Copies of this chain bind each other. A is one copy, B any other.
């Protein structure tokens, strides 16, 4: 039975909990058992919160029995990238520097999870301070990809990807500054959503880059993401970057078909340097969208080819505003890759930063113009599939490129524009590694992005495949 329970989606489990056919305690225990068994092989969790999770699960069970059902997250086991503040539970940010940091307060997402009845089972592995897309971390054993233990999960929400793909938890909150939710979603074959900038509170989420950071979930299905987003989204007086914009019922928005939806296929940047197997999978997905009634047309996004340099200037300059004291006092406590990136940014001039922000405005206008012609834009999420941990290079046809350099080239654009983007599984390469389809939409219109992703998912079988259990 325990094995079966970890294969349920949130929506399936929620139905059973609501009808009192499944106890939150059973459900949470099944996931904790699976974490206990698999985590030593996958390193998806830095901290497991077994005792408090069971306590919360029992409370959730009592509430259901008393007729106080809180909604689709009631009694659902969820986890958090280890940079979400959890009161009384250490929050390492994947670093040595914050290894002993214990927040005295919950972040807003955790407060909202608790209000929705969700049960937090632990804190997930991440790239040190979320500064990197591979998830390779010198301070904590590197998270391993459930589809091939020799490969990375992608980062920086590395443990979130591994935890969802292996059924250790039903939702994991990641954060996305250059693709850090969508990259592990793509490389692990699960769903990952970066909502509109300002949609989800970042209060109590350790910062990387204030103008680029986004908080968002990874789950196994699009409907599960819709349920989680509904619970956590919305204005938060504690986070001035959040906006007073209505939060729709994202689950209700999944209904109906895609007839008449206009899908844009970028002429520039998004297919330029992509592995042919990935490109083919995405084009097959576009054909499926066509069969579902979408019209497909080309769109032009030429300025996004400058996005790598732009992103580094903005993200790293903003990161230093936070890291400066540590860089001065204990530089040796950083991993080499993160320290190199931060130190390089200390000599960035204000004018370089300003020019990067100006270029970002150009990109925002370009995205807005493209999304005036179409309802969503699709592309690969990553240019290739999961690289080896020992040799983190992305295969692009016959060539290989450094994963650190290229893994985020297709995800960064929507961090600059602030517009929503989801990664949804769209197949496997010849080595059996998952491929992600990225669906991008208009600001505040996560509903359409999720509706397109859900219809595509339901028309295909990819989300029903599971990796074989690690030996």
Contact = CB atoms under 8 A, between A and B. Distances in A.
Interface of A: 210, 240, 313, 317-318, 320-321, 324, 345-355, 358, 361, 364-365
A349 B346 contact: yes
A350 B240 contact: no
B317 A354 contact: yes
Most chain B beta-carbon contacts within 10 A, residue among A351, A361, A364: A351
A351 B346 contact: yes
A321 B210 contact: no
24 contacts: A210-B354, A210-B358, A240-B365, A317-B349, A317-B350, A317-B351, A317-B354, A318-B354, A320-B350, A320-B351, A320-B354, A321-B351, A321-B354, A321-B355, A324-B351, A345-B351, A346-B349, A347-B349, A348-B350, A348-B351, A349-B350, A350-B350, A353-B353, A353-B354
Most chain B beta-carbon contacts within 10 A, residue among A313, A320, A345, A364: A320
Contacts of A350: 313, 317, 320, 345, 348-350, 352-353
Contact of A349 (B349, B361, B365): B349
Q: Is the interface of A mostly helix, strand, loop or mixed?
A: helix
A350 to B, nearest CB: 3
A349 B316 CA distance: 12
A101 to B, nearest CB: 22
Nearest to A348: B350
Nearest to A316: B350
A324 B365 CA distance: 25
A346 B352 CA distance: 10
Contacts of A358: 210, 321
Contacts of A321: 351, 354-355, 358
A328 to B, nearest CB: 12
A324 B58 CA distance: 64
Contacts of A353: 317, 350, 353-354
A416 to B, nearest CB: 14
The list of the 5 closest CB pairs from A to B, nearest first, reads A317-B350, A350-B353, A348-B350, A320-B351, A321-B354
A421 to B, nearest CB: 22
A354 to B, nearest CB: 5
A313 B321 CA distance: 14
A111 to B, nearest CB: 21
A317 B354 CA distance: 7
Contacts of A365: 240
A305 B355 CA distance: 28
Contacts of A320: 350-351, 354
B349 A348 contact: yes
Most chain B beta-carbon contacts within 10 A, residue among A317, A354, A365: A354
A319 to B, nearest CB: 9
A339 to B, nearest CB: 16
A355 B324 CA distance: 11
A320 B364 CA distance: 23
A352 B348 CA distance: 10
Most chain B beta-carbon contacts within 10 A, residue among A240, A313, A349, A355: A349
